Amino acid sequence: AQTVTQSQPEMSVQEAETVTLSCTYDTSESNYYLFWYKQPPSRQMILVIRQEAYKQQNATENRFSVNFQKAAKSFSLKISDSQLGDTAMYFCAFMKHSYTGANSKLTFGKGITLSVRP
């Protein structure tokens, strides 16, 4: 079974600064996907970024980038130029690759609450 660990329950960052959220996972799979989702106070889960394990290049989406270290089973999210709208809970999630497309479930970490200070 896969596990996802987010050990920091809360973080705070000054507006316009950079913050890194940590995530580690445990799996025996070699092919999988990793995600960061954002859940603002509205509680809508919003995809932030996705990484395929077979890709060596770290994924980026505008101000959001990841540091994917496959050997260390680490997947951290970096938010640059933090904005007030980035205040939310952030969840790291794992999905095993399935050659049949079956059982594509997400395993989530417990989340981290990020507060951006004005």
Partner 1 sequence: DGGITQSPKYLFRKEGQNVTLSCEQNLNHDAMYWYRQDPGQGLRLIYYSQIVNDFQKGDIAEGYSVSREKKESFPLTVTSAQKNPTAFYLCASSIGGLAQETQYFGPGTRLLVL
**Binders of partner 1: how many residues, by CB under 8 A?**
27
Q: Which of 29, 38, 26 is nearest to 82 (CA)?
A: 38
Query: Which residue of 30, 56, 62, 100 would you call a contact of partner 1, by CB under 8 A?
Result: 100
Stretch in the footprint of partner 1 (CB under 8 A) among 10-18, 58-66, 68-76, 89-97: 89-97
Question: Rounded distance, CA 105 to CA 112, Å?
Answer: 21
Task: Enter the tokens of residue 27.
Answer: 């799996």
Our finding on whether 41 is near partner 1 (CB under 8 A) is no
Question: Rounded distance, CA 31 to CA 54, Å?
Answer: 6
Positions that interact with partner 1 (CB under 8 A) = 4, 33, 35, 37, 42-47, 50, 91, 95, 97-106, 108-111
